[in-house]
Structure 1
């Protein structure tokens, strides 16, 4: 199977490319930075390239739309005029909701608040509004927070926090969050490529289980041989401190506080039903342990 991947140099791109190559797929990396041509002999294109969500909130809004929306439109038009059969667009759960009550499934009415989410949703709408030939498939993938060895982000920041023996001060916030192991992401993509009965549409990607941030702190401590330390400081005081961080550019700002303490439970039932599977190969705890061990 010949597969073209954009954004192949990123965390997901590197892992997915390596995984698929080990499954005897032929991978071609396509850069969209300058002039480019889509390989019509490919069986599928996986569009990972995009501008990521900026937690520091310093990015210019139009940059999100130039990269996440306009480049996607151009690539999809090329796909429609080619003999490539499958198009995977990696969107985000943030394209539909910045916060969630209950769990998030694909039927949720989309109302993103950030330029990142809006740019992703606008690209989704464009793709869905185009007439798709009967011999082609379009998959809009909405992953939640992806992690794995080699990934730097909020998990790594939390790991360093625990390693230094600093008590976790946000234990007063009770939440449930979904995560996505890179191993489960790779598994799902290969299954979708191989199973021609999976229909076009929007699919959430998430691990089967949800964890609270407090449970995650405990998991980090236990995995790295540290004593878990959780402090239940007033949530109102913490929220006020985060707002000060927005102004003073401190490590804890409102965006990071939200990522660490919000409820964000993502349902993966639709893709499991489409593939006819009961559970993913890696549990949430197993995937997170693997990521945590890679930080050492």
Structure 2
């Protein structure tokens, strides 16, 4: 069992939560800052595993310098992985993303999908993945590439914040005529999976998707937010054609609802978590998708 763990990106949302969770499981965690030029000297011989969370997050506003994605997400990961290969450390976890494979999904995304990322974020992540998978692993070492879908939890509003604000203000949801399915990943389920991977010594190296057990439609999501806030959902089934025309107008007049935002709010993105569950011999994750979301939404209320 890996009990002494090095974590990069330990000050981020996932890093903080995962480190606390592992410490409560009597694991020792050490933060490794890759911003420190002498980080290579911090490789500890007594460390059992590295969890590499640090990276440049996806900038949906597209104002980031594209080179930064490759320097941080690809080049730094390669450098860290090479350090792992030359160390006594047994396990390496690389947090990639489902966006390293596809920006949009038809059907259900599995680990076998041929990668075709469209953003610099996704491309930088898949290039790091490919390097890691192309290397020969010394005997006794294991490598796990984690592809999470949208992560949420108390303290991290992310994309849920827009829906939360709509519901909190008592506004109706006008896109109820659109039907979609999206996968989410609650931080509690992420923590649980990583811990189970750390303690399972015969888990095969490879790529593993992380997602909650069930995908939810945006309508179900709106209903869940209402439930968490003790409100009654207001789902308006405005005609799709009218909404699409309004979004088209929004493109020209720079309105809040435009074609791109409509696509993001109504498209499907379903991710399978069957491979990791089968590998760990578990039937279901600790929290349902709805339970995890209610926990997150209730935390927004407390923050006010």
TM-score between both structures, scaled by the size of structure 1 = 0.95
Q: How does 1:120-135 map to 2 (within 5 A)?
A: 120-135=125-140
**Contact residue 172 and residue 233 of structure 1 kept, 8 A:** yes
- Equivalence for 2:111: 106
Stretch moving more, 239-248 or 20-29: 239-248
SS at match of 2:194: helix
C-alpha displacement at 1:99, in angstroms?
Answer: 1.1
Whole-Å Cα distance in 1 between the matches of residues 45 and 247 of structure 2? Answer: 49
Q: How does 1:123-162 map to 2 (within 5 A)?
A: 123-162=128-167
SS at match of 1:186: helix
Whole-Å Cα distance in 2 between the matches of residues 241 and 7 of structure 1? Answer: 41
Residue 295, structure 1, aligned to residue 300, structure 2 = yes
SS at match of 1:70: helix
TM-score between both structures, scaled by the size of structure 2 = 0.92
Aligned mate of 1:68, from 53, 69, 73: 73
**Contact residue 148 and residue 290 of structure 1 kept, 8 A:** yes
Whole-Å Cα distance in 2 between the matches of residues 128 and 210 of structure 1? Answer: 29
Whole-Å Cα distance in 2 between the matches of residues 20 and 240 of structure 1? Answer: 50
C-alpha displacement at 1:241, in angstroms?
Answer: 5.1
Aligned mate of 1:28, from 27, 30, 37: 30
- Equivalence for 1:17: 19
What number of residue pairs does the alignment pair up? Answer: 296
Residue 276, structure 1, aligned to residue 281, structure 2 = yes
Whole-Å Cα distance in 2 between the matches of residues 250 and 77 of structure 1? Answer: 48
1:214-253 per-position Cα deviation (integer Å, ceiling 9, x unaligned): 1000111122022211223344554565566667766545
| Structure 1, unpaired ranges of 5+ | none
SS at match of 1:177: coil
Whole-Å Cα distance in 1 between the matches of residues 233 and 246 of structure 2? Answer: 23
1:162-189 per-position Cα deviation (integer Å, ceiling 9, x unaligned): 1001111222221011111111100000
Residue 57, structure 1, aligned to residue 62, structure 2 = yes
Whole-Å Cα distance in 2 between the matches of residues 7 and 245 of structure 1? Answer: 38
C-alpha displacement at 1:153, in angstroms?
Answer: 1.1
| Structure 2, unpaired ranges of 5+ | none
Aligned mate of 2:191, from 186, 191, 205: 186
Whole-Å Cα distance in 2 between the matches of residues 39 and 77 of structure 1? Answer: 15
SS at match of 2:145: strand
Q: How does 1:238-249 map to 2 (within 5 A)?
A: 238-239=243-244, 242=247
Residue 170, structure 1, aligned to residue 171, structure 2 = no
